[in-house]
A and B are shown apart, each in its own frame.
Chain A
Amino acid sequence: DAKTTQPPSMDCAEGRAANLPCNHSTISGNEYVYWYRQIHSQGPQYIIHGLKNNETNEMASLIITEDRKSSTLILPHATLRDTAVYYCIVRGLNTGTASKLTFGTGTRLQVTL
C-alpha cells in the first residue's frame, strides 16, 4: 500500500471549516483514499473514502486532486467534538482478499472556541 504524509497537528476555530491535507504521491491506479478519525481511547471512526472523484457525506467532503497525488478532507463547520487524530490511508481493494489498512501517525486536529 502507498504511503501517506500528513502534518502532525492543526488548529481550527469552532464553526470554521477544517481543511486537512494529505500527500500520497505514490498512489497507484486501483488504490482508494480513506479517512478515519480517532478520539482518545476509542476505536477509529470511518469518515469517507474516494477513488478519483470528489466525495461528500454527512460528515465531511473529500477533495482529490486530478493527478491523485494529494487530497484534502474538509469538515465544513468544525465543532469541539471534531477534536481528534485524523488518519489518511491509501488502500487497495483486491477482490477476494482482506485488504488491510496501514496507519501513519495522522494529524491531530484541535478545535478551539
Chain B
Amino acid sequence: DGGITQSPKYLFRKEGQNVTLSCEQNLNHDAMYWYRQDPGQGLRLIYYSQIVNDFQKGDIAEGYSVSREKKESFPLTVTSAQKNPTAFYLCASSGPSSGNTIYFGEGSWLTVV
C-alpha cells in the first residue's frame, strides 16, 4: 500500500544526545514536511522540502536539521541545541499525484529525559 512511514513510533533519549527520526514515502511525492506538535496545541512547521537536495526552514527550525538525498526519504535530526525536544513529530508529503493534498504519517513520540 502507498503511504508515509515514520519510525520509530516511540523514542526515548538522554538530554544532550542527537536523535534522528525517519520518514519514508512511496507516493512519488516531490514535497515533504516535518511538523512538531506539543500537547493540546496545533502543528508547527519545522522544515519542508520541495525537491531532492533542497529544503527550507519552517517556523521553528532552530535545533533541528534535515536532509533530502532521495525523493522517498526526509529524515529529521533533533540536535542537542533544541531546548525542548520532547514532542510529537509528524512527517507529511504532497505531490501532483494526489492533487497536491498533504498527507501525514502516524507520527513519532520523542521523550528526552
Contact = CB atoms under 8 A, between A and B. Distances in A.
Q: Do A and B come from one complex?
A: yes
Interface of A: 34, 36, 41-46, 49, 87, 93, 96-106
Contact of A97 (B33, B41, B43, B50): B50
Given A98-B94, A100-B58, A44 B45 contact: no
Contact of A101 (B49, B56, B102, B105): B102
A83 B66 CA distance: 34
Contacts of B43: 44, 101, 103
Interface string B35-77: 1000001111100111000001010000000000000000000
Interface of B: 4, 6, 30-31, 33, 35, 41-45, 48-50, 56, 58, 88, 90, 92, 94, 100-107, 109
A41 B33 contact: no
Contacts of A98: 30-31, 33, 48-50, 56, 94
Contacts of A96: 50
A6 to B, nearest CB: 11
Contact of B104 (A34, A43, A93): A43
